[in-house]
Copies of this chain bind each other. A is one copy, B any other.
Amino acid sequence: MPTSKDVARLAGVSQSTVSYVMSGRRPISEKTRKRVEAAMAQLAFQPNAGARALASRRSQVIGLAIPFVPDLHMGSIMEFISVIAATARQSDYDILLVTDDEGPQGLERVVGQQLVDGLIIMQVEGDDARVPVIRNLPVPSVLIGIPEKHDGLECIDADFELAGAMCVEELAQLGHESVILVDWQDSVVRRHVNYVKRFHRGVDKAAAAVGLKVIHAPGRTTIAAMEKAVTKALEQTNGIPAFIAPEAANQDLLVEALHNLGLVLGEDASVVVNCSDRIAERQRTPLTTIGFEPDEVSRRAVHRIVRDLTDPTSRPHEALELIRPVLKRRKSTIRPRNKR
């Protein structure tokens, strides 16, 4: 592997000049720069990451703490990871994975070894064991999700409360007088993930504001169970029912359960679910969706950590950034009056 010294020799300059060509931290004449760049290209030079990290005290690597997820919707996690990795590259950072089975000490390790310059913590829960750890770390972190105590922390998440409110307001505006909230799966609810609470709060507040009744249906993991739950909820409704299903893993179950019960979406029922546009559009009835914008959340998280790392004066600045959800009207909602 060629080194910067080899490049320097070939270009007839000193090694430090090569370094300055790369970093741009000192002016270099056009002519010299061209020569150096030609030499680099000729040798296919790539700077050695270890040496660079040692000398500059920055690794250009961001640690990504990924959740341990038996029952979480794995597809969406994967989406976060890809987007985070791709976005990081655009700012010349790489992503190193930190899994949960090392425990919170995994974070201390990668930081202690100076493997990473900063951290992105995914799927932060209300009372997350990783939070006290990162508070004592000498590098910046950005959390995806919002812990109970988030003073002094940088958190990013979808605005679940607003999402809940948006769903309710949309349905209320159409003329529905009650909504059935199809909840997250028990395993998620039991974990006290706080976005569940936030979504509920948004729903409840908005419902109270517009005088709309909220019926809770538990999240289920099979179609049969979902049918049962839906049927039960329907007993408490009259007129055309309106459903809100914020958990992505529930979306297909709800849609199918309603179909099996003989309800045509957009005619006999209004439904707002959370799923990707691609999925929403290839349904029998294209679905009106509330999107939590995971890509946007991921991108913002990366931008934040990059800024922290690039511009040290920007830290420490507590900040809670909520990404506005997007409601996309398709064909699965209807004005109840229109149907007799």
Contacts and interface: CB of A to CB of B under 8 A. Distances in A.
Contact of A222 (B44, B59, B64, B284): B284
B97 A85 contact: yes
A101 interface: yes
Interface in A272-296: 278, 282-284
Nearest to A48: B114
A49 B256 contact: no
Interface string A89-128: 1000011110101100010011011110000000000000
A81 interface: yes
Interface stretch (A4-12, A50-58, A231-239): A50-58
Contacts of A78: 69, 74-75, 77-78, 81
Interface residues of A, number: 56
Interface string A289-317: 00000000000000000000000000000
Given A74-B78, A81-B81, A81-B97, A50 B54 contact: yes
A89 B99 contact: yes
A209 interface: no
A115 B94 contact: yes
B49 A113 contact: yes
A114 B94 CA distance: 13
A24 interface: no
B66 A114 contact: no
Nearest to A67: B82
Interface of A: 1, 44, 46-54, 59, 61, 64, 66, 68-70, 73-79, 81-82, 85-86, 89, 94-97, 99, 101-102, 106, 109-110, 112-115, 221-224, 252, 256, 259-260, 278, 282-284
23 contacts: A1-B112, A44-B112, A46-B109, A48-B113, A48-B114, A49-B115, A50-B54, A50-B59, A51-B54, A64-B97, A66-B81, A69-B82, A70-B278, A74-B76, A75-B75, A81-B97, A86-B99, A89-B102, A96-B97, A222-B282, A222-B284, A223-B256, A256-B256
Given A51-B54, A69-B78, A96-B96, 20 more contacts: A1-B112, A47-B113, A50-B51, A50-B59, A61-B115, A64-B97, A69-B82, A70-B278, A74-B76, A75-B78, A77-B78, A86-B99, A94-B96, A94-B110, A95-B96, A96-B97, A97-B97, A223-B259, A252-B252, A256-B256
Which 5 A-B pairs have CB atoms at the shortest separation, nearest pair first? A50-B53, A46-B112, A74-B75, A50-B54, A74-B78
